[in-house]
Amino acid sequence: MKKLAERNGKPCCINLITEADNKFLKKLQKDEEIREKLAQEASKEDLAEESKGEELDDLTSEQRAEMARKKECLDSESEDEVGALIRREEEEHTRNEQEAEENKRVASEEAEARRIREAKEAARLEEIRQQERDLLDQRSQPIRQYLMDNVVPHLTEGLIQLCKEVPEDSTEFLANFLFERADLLDEQVLREREEMLRKKQEEKKQQARKANNR
């Protein structure tokens, strides 16, 4: 490492070389080894070409023609192999595209069928809910009518009175109002019953007088 650092005659202190310098020097050394290896391979190829040229010089014309034919056959076979490889790749590419299109079509059909099923199911559930609402409305009709006739008028009147007076304890005020209204209703019912009894008694008396006059 020190020799590489001082190769150009420059003094160097090994203790001042950093890790980055070490990496750079190793890279230079590796590049130099690669260049030497490539040069050796090129030299071997040149020697092989020269040797092959010398061998070709020693061959007869028939041998050279035979070698040329073999070379043409090899080149033709190589071209056939390349063509076959290209065709296989094209066929595989076409097959992959067809499979992708088929998968896309199948996925689209499945999605459409699923959407139709979901729409039918949603319509069926909505119909069931509507039937339940209609049935509930039909069953609750008498209760609503009872409340409208006997509860809502008095409760509405109590709420109106509550809004007018605005008491501190609204719950107690509304409860007292309903109690008072219940007492009034009870008295009214009693008076109506008494009136009915009185009318019945008068009718009986009139019927008795008519019978005596006869």
Q: Is the pTM of this model over 0.75?
A: no
CA distance 51 to 53: 5
pLDDT digits (tens, 9 = 90+) for 177-205: 999 988 888 888 888 898 888 888 888 87
pLDDT of residue 104: 92
Place of tokens 């008095």: 154
Q: Are 149 and 155 in contact (CB under 8 A)?
A: no
CA distance 64 to 77: 20
Domain positions in the chain are: 1-58, 61-149, 151-214
pLDDT digits (tens, 9 = 90+) for 8-50: 444 444 445 567 667 767 777 777 777 777 777 767 766 665 5
Place of tokens 């069953």: 139
E-strand ranges in 82-160 read: none
